Structure 1
Amino acid sequence: MTSQSPSPPVPRSAPSRLRGVRDGSLTRALRVILALAVLLGVAQLGAGLAYTPIFWPVGAFTLVFWTWIAAGLIAWWRRPGNGIGPLLIIGGIGIYLGGMANVPVPAFAVVNSIFATSVLAITVHLLHAFPSGRLRGRLSIAAVILGYVVAVGFDLVKTVLPPLTGREVEVFDVAQTGLGIAVMVVTAVVLTRRLITADRRHRRVLLPLFTYGILSVLLVPTIPLLVRAFGLDQPVVGVLQLSLLAGLPIAFLLGVLLGGFRRTTALEALSAWLAIGGANRPAVGRALAATLGDDSLRVVYWAADRERYIDETGVEVERDDAEDRGWVEVRVDERLVGAIEYDARMIGEPSTVRRAGEVLAIAIDREHLTSELLVSNRELVRSRLRLVEATYRERYRITRDLHDGLQVQLVLLALEAQTIANSSDASPATSAAAEQLRRGIDAAAADLRGLVHNVLPASLLEQGLAPAAEDLVDRLEIPATLDAELDDSGLPDATVHTAYFVLAELLANAVKHARASMVHVAVRRSGARLELEVRDDGVGGARLNGGTGLRGLADRVAAIDGTFEIDSDADAGTRVRVELPCE
C-alpha cells in the first residue's frame, strides 16, 4: 500500500494575482472604449436634438452603434486572443460614421459619403474571419480587401475627385456593383466550403450565422429598391436597414458565446499559472486549452528513443493532417520536447499557439519526462508480469511432470511390491519386506501428492479459482463464509494463481496469528479488476512492515500491477483488500 505525501498548499495570493493578470490592461482598455462609446453616442444624440427636426434617425443610429460596441466588448472580454471583438467594435465605428449624415453639418455629410457602406465590408470581414477572428486563405484575404475597396475606396474616390459627369458616375456605379457581386460570390463559395468541412456541432452554429450575414449584406443596399417597388415610405427603408444591421453583432456574439467557443485568457495568465500553480496546477494541455479557447487542443510529447510522439500516458499518437488542424512544435534550447495540435479554424495565427507553447515549454518538458517515466514504468510492469507468468508456467510443468511421471512410477512400484508380498512363492521374510516397501512407497506418494498440491493445487488446475477458493474455505479449521461472484473464464493465469496463493496465505494467517473465530471471504470481478477481500474477527495488529509474510504478499500482488490494502484493529479485527488486473 503506497502513501502519498500531501501537496504543498497554493499561496493565498494566487487568486488575486491571476485576477490581476486577467483584469489588468485588457480591462482598462475595454473600459476606455466603453466610456468613449458612451460619450460619442451622447454627443450624437445632443447634436441631433440641437440641429435636426426629425430626431428618430439619430437615436436609431446611436442605438445600433451602442449595440455593436457592446457586442464587441463582450466578445473581446470572452475571448481576448480572438479578433471578433475588435472587428465588432470597428463595425460600430463604421455605423457611427455612417449615421453622421443625420446631423446637418457639411463635414459630417462628407464623412458619411465615404463610410456609409463601410459596415457591409466589415460584415464580410467578420464572415470570413469567424470564429478565430483572423483571415485564413488567400481567397478570403482577397475577398475582404476587395470588399473594403468596393465599400470605402470607391466612395472615397468619388468624394475627393472633382465633380464627375453623369457618364463617369454611371461607370463608377457599374464597376462598384460588379465588384460587389464578385465579393459576395467568393464569400458564398468560401463559407460553403467551410460548412461542408465543419463538424456537426459547429455547423449548427455556422449555418444560421453565415446565412444571416450574407442576407444582410445583400439586403441592406437593395432594400430601397424593394421598398420603392412596393410603394412604401422612406422611413420604412431606414427601419429595415437598421434592424438588419442591429442584428448582425448580436448574431456574431451569440456565435461566440453559444457556439462551444470557451472564454480565453491572456498569455500572461499562463506565466502566473506557471509561477504559482505548484503541485496543484492543472495539466498543461488543459491550461493551454483554457488560454486559447480551444477544447480540442491537445499536447503531445516527443519520445526521442522511438522517434515518435506520445500522449501524457505514453501511448503513441499520430499527427492529424486534416486541413482544419494546426500543428506547432515546442522546443527547449533547440531540443524538440513536444507539439501542440489545435483547431486552425478557431485559432487563426500559429504564432499565438507558438507564444503560448514558449511560455509553458518547461512545463511541457516536465510532462514529457513524466510521460517517458510512465512508459518505462509500464514496460517494467509488463516485464514483471512476464516473469510471474513464466514462473507459473514452470510450476505447471513441474506439477505435470510430478503428477504424470514420478507419481505414476511410485504407484506402479507400490503395486509391484504388493504383488511380491502376495506371491505364493515368496518366503515370509520376503513378503514382510515387500509389504514394508509398499507402505514406504505409499508414504512417498502421499508426500509427493502434498508437494504437488503446494506447488499447484489440483482443484485450481482442473476447476478454476472459484472452486479452489471454496475448497480452501471448506478445509479451514474455523467457521468461514465465502461470497463468490466470479466467472473466472478468461482470467490470466498470473491473476488466478496470485489470487489463490494470497487467499491461502491470508486464511492461514487468520488461524495461526490472528487467532480468529470467524472469517469471511469475498471474491468478485468488477470490470477489469478482480477484487479479493478477507475479513476476520481476530486480535488485529497486522502491519505490512511487521514482518516478511504480509510484505511478501504485497510484493507478489504488486508484481502483476495489483493493489494490496490492510486495515487491522484490535477491536475490529483485520480486513485485507486485494485488487488484481483481469486483462
Structure 2
Amino acid sequence: MAAAAVAAVAVGLCGAWAYARTGATAGDLGRDLTVGWSFAGAGLIAWWRRPANGTGRLMVLEGITWFLGNFQAGGPALLVGLSAWFEALNLAVLAHLVLAFPEGRLTDRSSRLVARAGYGLVLAGGLLRAITYDPRADAGATYLTCPDCGVNALLVAPAARLFTTVDLTYRALGGALAVACAVLVVRRWRAGTQPRRRALLPAVLSLFFVVVFVVWDIVLRLLFPARAATVPGALLIASDLGQAAVPVAFLVGLLRLRLRRAAVGHLVLEIGPDPSLARLRDALARVLDDPSVQLGLWRPELARYVEPDGGPLPLTPAPGRSVTPVAHRGQRSAVLVHDPALDDDEALLPAVSAALRLMLDNAWLHSEVTERLAEARAASSRLVQAADSERRRLERDLHDGAQVRLLTALMALQRVDVRLRQSDDTMLRDTVAEAGRELRQALTELRELAHGIHPGVLARDGLGPAVVAVAERSALPVVVAVEAVRCPPVIEATAYYTICEALANATKHARARAVTITVRHDAGVLVVEVADDGVGGADLSRGTGLRGLTDRLAAVGGALGVVSPAGAGTRIRAELPCG
C-alpha cells in the first residue's frame, strides 16, 4: 500500500512535468492531477478500510495509469513509444473497475470477457497503433498539443493514412467495449434490488460520462476530422469530471456504510429490551435499506427457524439471496436472509449480528428479571395473604376460645358472688368482687387485642363500618367518606391498616386538629386518601411506618404516595387493585 502511494505521487508529478512541456495551462495540470490522484487517494482509503475487496487496488491502478499518456510529450524515445502504446490503459482499468464494482471482482462470465477484451485491445491494438504513430506527423491524434513531441522508438510504419485507419478502428473498438460495459451494468442495475442499485451508482455515473465522451470523440473524428484536434477541450473536461465522480461516489458510499453501521448501534435503544420479531425485522430492513430482509428465530422444539407470522423460514434461501446465521450463547439463535449487496461491507453484517445478540441478551435478561419480579411479587402477596389469614384465625381463636372461657369464668364468679351475699365473710366477698373486676378488664383488653389483630366488623360488614369504628375511637375529629364497595379480603385489610397507620401518625406526630378519610372505587382501583391539617414534613425515606406501608401495598400490587409540605399538612394516598 505504501509503495502504491509513492508510485501514484511519483508518476503523477512526472506526468505533470511532461504535460507542462506541451504548453498545458495550470488549469489543465490541476484537472489532470485532481482526477488521477483522486482515484489513487480514494483507492488507498478503500484498500486500507476494506483490504479483502479489490476495488481499492483497481482504483489505485486507475490513478497511476491515468498519467501514462502524458509521457508522449518528450524524453527518451522508448518512453514516448511506451506511453503511446499504453495511453488508453487507464480506460481498460476503468472498465475493469466498473464491471467489478462494488465486489472488487468480476462475478460473471460476460464481465470477465469484456474486461479481458479491454486489456487485449490495449495490448494488441495499442501496439499496432504505436508502431504506426508518428508524433511529429500526427499531432492531433492525442490530447497533447506539442509539435515538438519526442521521437517514437516503436514507429516502424510511418504512414499517415494507415495510422488514421488504425487509430479510428482502435477508438471504435474501444467505444464498442464501452457500450458493452454499459449494457452489462444496466442489466445488473435492472435485475438488482434497491441496495444493489445504490451500490452500482458510481459505476453508472462513470459509464455515462465515458460512453458520452468516447462516442462523441468517434463521431467527431468521422464527421469533422479537421476539427477533431481543436474541439474536444470541453469534452475532456466533461470526461475528467465524470471519471472523478467515481472516487467521490465511492467515498460517499464508504461514509454511507459507516453511517449505516452507526445506525445499527442504535437498534438496541430503538427496539428496547423486549422486541417483537416483526418490529425487529422492520427496523433491520430500514437500517440496512433492504425491504426484502427476512429474520427468523430458531425454535428448538420445532427444529426450524420461524418468521414473524409464525411460518417456517426455509434453511435454503432463494437464488440471489444471502444468509447470515446469528449464534447466541454458543447455539444458533437467529438467521438473516438478505440482499447479497450487503455482503460488500464485511463489517456491516457482523455489527448487525452483534446487535442482534445484544438484543437477545437484553430480551433474555428482561424476561428473567420480569419472571423473578413476578415470582417475588407473588411470594410477597402470598405472605400478606397468609399473614391476613393467620390474623383472622387468631382473632377467631381469641373470640371463640379465650374470650368465651373468660366470659364463662366471669359468669361463674358472678354466681359465686350472689351466694356470698348471704354470707358474713366480707373478705371473701371483696376477693370475689376484685376477681370479677380483673376478669372484666382482661376480657376488655382481649377484645381490643382481637380487634387490633383483625377487626371482626371488617370481615363482617366491610371497609366502611370498620373505618367508622376506627374514627369513633380516635382522639381527633375525623370526617369519613367511604363508598359502599367490597374488595377481596386482603385488599380491604391492607386498606384498613393503611388508614389506621395514617391516623396514628396524624395523632402522634403531625399535631393535627382534624383528619379526613376518603375511600372510593375508580376503574378497578381502590383509592384511599387520609389528609390532616398538621405540621407536614412526612417523608417516605424516614421512619419504618410509611416504609412498611409501602412494602405492604407493593406486595398486593398497590402503591403509596405522600404529599407533605412543611407546615401544610399531610396527604397520604394509597391505590390498590380492586377489580
TM-score with structure 2 length normalisation? 0.51
State whether residues 100 and 112 of structure 1, in contact with CA within 8 Å, keep that contact through their aligned partners in structure 2: yes
Q: Deviations over 1:158-217 (max 9, x none)?
A: 4568979979969988776655543332221111222xx317xx96x6797565333223
Q: Deviations over 1:386-416 (max 9, x none)?
A: 9999xxxxxxxxxxxxxxxxxxxxxxxxxxx
Q: d(CA) in 2 for partners of 1:450 and 1:357?
A: 59
Instruction: Give the equivalent residue in structure 2 for 1:248.
Output: 243
Q: d(CA) in 1 for partners of 2:575 and 2:112?
A: 66
Higher normalized contact order (CA 8 Å, seq sep 6+, divided by chain length): 1
2:191 to 159, 178, 193: 193
Helix, strand or coil: the match of 1:263?
A: helix
1:550 aligns with 2:535: no
Instruction: Give the equivalent residue in structure 1 for 2:211.
Output: 218
AA partner of residue 256 (structure 2): F
2:505 to 513, 517, 520: 513
Q: d(CA) in 2 for partners of 1:154 and 1:306?
A: 59
State whether residues 146 and 183 of structure 1, in contact with CA within 8 Å, keep that contact through their aligned partners in structure 2: no
Q: d(CA) in 2 for partners of 1:531 and 1:151?
A: 84
1:184 aligns with 2:155: no
1:154 to 115, 121, 124: 121
Instruction: After TM superposition, list the pairs within 5 Å mapping 1:487-506 onto structure 2.
Output: none
1:261 aligns with 2:240: no
State whether residues 542 and 574 of structure 1, in contact with CA within 8 Å, keep that contact through their aligned partners in structure 2: no
Distance 1:53 1:372, change over 3 A: closer
- CA-CA distance at 1:219 after TM superposition: 1.8
State whether residues 297 and 333 of structure 2, in contact with CA within 8 Å, keep that contact through their aligned partners in structure 1: yes
AA partner of residue 192 (structure 1): R
Q: d(CA) in 1 for partners of 2:111 and 2:519?
A: 71
Q: d(CA) in 1 for partners of 2:519 and 2:4?
A: 69
Q: d(CA) in 2 for partners of 1:71 and 1:142?
A: 28
State whether residues 480 and 516 of structure 2, in contact with CA within 8 Å, keep that contact through their aligned partners in structure 1: yes
Q: d(CA) in 2 for partners of 1:124 and 1:579?
A: 75
Q: Deviations over 1:409-451 (max 9, x none)?
A: xxxxxxxxxxxxxxxxxxxxxxxxxxxxxxxxxxxxxx89974
2:109 to 138, 142, 151: 142
- CA-CA distance at 1:222 after TM superposition: 2.0
1:347 aligns with 2:343: yes
Instruction: After TM superposition, list the pairs within 5 Å mapping 1:41-440 onto structure 2.
Output: 41-49=12-20, 51-52=21-22, 54=24, 60-73=31-44, 85-103=56-74, 105-113=76-84, 115-128=86-99, 132-134=102-104, 138=107, 141-158=108-125, 180-194=178-192, 197-198=193-194, 209=202, 211-228=204-221, 229=223, 232-250=227-245, 252-254=247-249, 256-257=251-252, 261-263=256-258, 302=298, 304=300, 326-331=322-327, 335-339=331-335, 344-348=340-344, 368-377=360-369
Instruction: Give the equivalent residue in structure 2 for 1:403.
Output: none
- CA-CA distance at 1:318 after TM superposition: 7.9
Q: d(CA) in 1 for partners of 2:359 and 2:194?
A: 32
Distance 1:232 1:177, change over 3 A: closer
- CA-CA distance at 1:244 after TM superposition: 2.0
Q: d(CA) in 1 for partners of 2:46 and 2:526?
A: 52
- CA-CA distance at 1:565 after TM superposition: 7.6
Q: d(CA) in 2 for partners of 1:255 and 1:86?
A: 13
State whether residues 557 and 564 of structure 1, in contact with CA within 8 Å, keep that contact through their aligned partners in structure 2: no
Distance 1:349 1:510, change over 3 A: same
Q: Deviations over 1:219-241 (max 9, x none)?
A: 23222234444664524325413
- CA-CA distance at 1:554 after TM superposition: 1.5
State whether residues 71 and 253 of structure 1, in contact with CA within 8 Å, keep that contact through their aligned partners in structure 2: yes
State whether residues 303 and 372 of structure 1, in contact with CA within 8 Å, keep that contact through their aligned partners in structure 2: no
- CA-CA distance at 1:551 after TM superposition: 0.9
Query: Which deviates further from its counterpart, 257-266 or 326-335?
Result: 257-266
State whether residues 328 and 341 of structure 1, in contact with CA within 8 Å, keep that contact through their aligned partners in structure 2: yes
Q: d(CA) in 2 for partners of 1:534 and 1:236?
A: 93
State whether residues 328 and 353 of structure 1, in contact with CA within 8 Å, keep that contact through their aligned partners in structure 2: no
AA partner of residue 217 (structure 1): V
Query: Which deviates further from its counterpart, 536-545 or 83-92?
Result: 536-545
Q: d(CA) in 1 for partners of 2:489 and 2:94?
A: 71
Q: d(CA) in 1 for partners of 2:569 and 2:5?
A: 70
Structure 1, unmatched stretches of 5+, are 1-28, 267-272, 274-281, 390-446, 458-475, 481-493
Helix, strand or coil: the match of 2:258?
A: coil
Instruction: Give the equivalent residue in structure 2 for 1:5.
Output: none
Helix, strand or coil: the match of 2:256?
A: coil
- CA-CA distance at 1:553 after TM superposition: 1.2
How large is the RMSD of aligned CA atoms in angstroms? 6.3
Distance 1:240 1:117, change over 3 A: same
Query: Which deviates further from its counterpart, 329-338 or 213-222?
Result: 329-338
Query: Which deviates further from its counterpart, 220-229 or 324-333?
Result: 324-333
- CA-CA distance at 1:512 after TM superposition: 3.6
Helix, strand or coil: the match of 1:234?
A: coil
Q: d(CA) in 1 for partners of 2:300 and 2:52?
A: 33
**Matched-pair identity in %:** 20
Instruction: Give the equivalent residue in structure 1 for 2:411.
Output: none
Helix, strand or coil: the match of 1:557?
A: coil
Q: d(CA) in 1 for partners of 2:19 and 2:300?
A: 70
State whether residues 301 and 368 of structure 1, in contact with CA within 8 Å, keep that contact through their aligned partners in structure 2: no
AA partner of residue 151 (structure 1): G
State whether residues 262 and 294 of structure 1, in contact with CA within 8 Å, keep that contact through their aligned partners in structure 2: no
Q: d(CA) in 1 for partners of 2:56 and 2:519?
A: 61
Count of aligned pairs: 421
